[in-house]
Amino acid sequence: MILGLGIPELLIIVVVVLIIFGPKNLPKLGSALGKTVKNVREGMEEGDEKDKDSKKVEEPKEDEAEEVVADEDDADVEDAPAEKAKEGVQFCSKCGAENAADAAFCKKCGAKLSE
């Protein structure tokens, strides 16, 4: 028994497939089905390998912690939103989108803008 089907049920399925596809197209159908199954198996194995690789990522040790260094360019980035706020633009605190100074809600995400 295959998948709970007996011999009579399997014969009926084979006859219906022969009628629908014809004997000339069965080899093409079989090879296409085999390639599909092969690709699915390879994809599943590739996904398993990626999961294993992502679990192997090491966290930095305490003495190897990254150090954040401020340079001259960083100061300009912090001042840019403040300069634009003076020009009649306010930024959304959730998504960072620019909005008109008199807007009550963000045009991108719909969040209420603080005034």
Closest CA to 92 of 65, 111, 71, 73: 111
DSSP string, 76-91: HHHHHHHHHHHTTEEE
d(CA 95, CA 74): 20
CB 31 within 8 A of CB 38: no
3-state secondary structure of 99: strand
CB 92 within 8 A of CB 109: yes
Global pTM value = 0.34
CA distances from 37 to 27, 42, 111 (A): 15, 9, 47
Sequential pLDDT tens for the chain (115 residues): 567 888 899 899 889 988 988 888 888 888 998 999 999 999 888 877 776 666 665 555 555 556 666 666 655 555 555 554 456 788 888 888 888 888 888 888 888 887 5
